[in-house]
Amino acid sequence: MRSDPTFWILARSSGLVAYALLGGAVLAGLVLKARPFGTRVKPAAVADVHRFLTELGLGALSLHALALVLDRTVQIGIAALLLPGAAPYRPLWTGLGVLAAELLVVVYASFSLRKRIGPRTWRRLHWATYLIFALATLHGLATGSDSGSVWALSLYGAATGAVLAAAAWRTLVPARKGAHRVPHRDRPIVV
């Protein structure tokens, strides 16, 4: 009797969707900070897109984790979702994904602590977003069963290229007037 592949398909697809949304959230955060489009794009609108992509990404990440636990293809338990390296399936690379997810939750939760930790510490914590994106990329490339396909490699390549280009823009091009001001909302912003 053949096992039902529903949860395996859901785990794969939700992982790819979570990665794409994370890439979009990082790009929106970079646009929010560097303002490459000047005044043509309103910071408040970019902040809303940034938050929305982050929240959707966290939802897709949660679905990815749940589907992995429910799937019987690789036998991922709850402990493997909490302890990097505890998964029986490619423990190093799966562990990098777990670490990326945990750091993402910390950065996301930091917004509610922004007043307590201060904006300077909050901004420094947001630098971890680059590490999160890199870990998620490595995790997807090394553990994803679709990673060898042209479309998946294109997704990883496009996301990585876009984030690198936006980060280079932020680093090399002087910030436009007012770029340091991030609209304050009661919802988290992840760079």
- Asked if residue 161 has pLDDT above 60, the reply is yes
* 39 within domain boundaries: yes
Please write the tens of the pLDDT for every residue from 123-153.
899 999 999 999 999 999 999 888 889 999 9
Domain hosting 43: range is 6-172
Q: What is the mean pLDDT of residues 5-26?
A: 95
Q: What DSSP letter does each residue of 41-92 carry, written as one string?
A: S-HHHHHHHHHHHHHHHHHHHHHHHHHHHH-SSS---HHHHHSTT--SSSHH
- The interaxial angle of helices 6-34 and 150-172, nearest 10 deg, is 20
Chain centroid offset of residue 96 CA: 13
Percent share of the chain, pLDDT over 90:
58
* 180 within domain boundaries: no
* 191 within domain boundaries: no
* 17 within domain boundaries: yes
pTM value is 0.86
Question: How many domains are there within the chain?
Answer: 1
Please write the tens of the pLDDT for every residue from 164-173.
999 998 888 8
CB 1 within 8 A of CB 111: no
CA–CA distances in Å: residue 114 to residues 69, 103, 165: 33, 16, 28
* 186 within domain boundaries: no
* 181 within domain boundaries: no
* 184 within domain boundaries: no
* 122 within domain boundaries: yes
CB neighbourhood size of 85 (10 A): 13
